């Protein structure tokens, strides 16, 4: 959001966000202001998962394949994983 706002600020300063209304130049407000008030405030606390010990990886992959997870989550091809063990 910050980057978009910087671009819009640059456009405003450069005169690209002004319109003529009844021979009066009006600078358009930044749409980021409205979006920022509509979106909920994000938590500053990052939540990370603990690292999976390498010895538990085969069991994790087996469980992952039996879940209803999306195909994009099932990242490991059986032949590739079994070749590495």
Cα dist from 65 to 58, 81, 83, whole Å: 11, 12, 17
Q: Which token pair is 34?
A: 């409205």
- Answer with the residue of higher pLDDT: 81 or 9: 9
Global pTM exceeds 0.75: no
Q: What is the distance between the alpha carbons of residues 29 and 7, in angstroms, rounded to a whole number?
A: 13
Instruction: State the chain's mean pLDDT as an integer.
Output: 76
* C-alpha span between 9 and 70 (Å, rounded): 40
pLDDT tens digits, one per residue of 38-75: 777 777 777 788 898 999 988 988 887 787 766 656 56
């Amino acid at each position: 959001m910050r980057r978009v706002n910087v671009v819009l600020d640059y456009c405003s300063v450069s005169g690209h966000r002004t319109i003529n209304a009844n021979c009066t130049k009006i600078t358009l407000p930044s749409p980021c202001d409205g979006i920022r008030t509509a979106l909920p405030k994000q938590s500053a606390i990052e939540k990370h998962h603990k690292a999976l010990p390498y010895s538990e990886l085969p069991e994790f992959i087996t469980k992952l394949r039996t879940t209803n997870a999306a195909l994009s989550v099932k990242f490991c091809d059986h032949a590739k994983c079994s070749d590495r063990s």
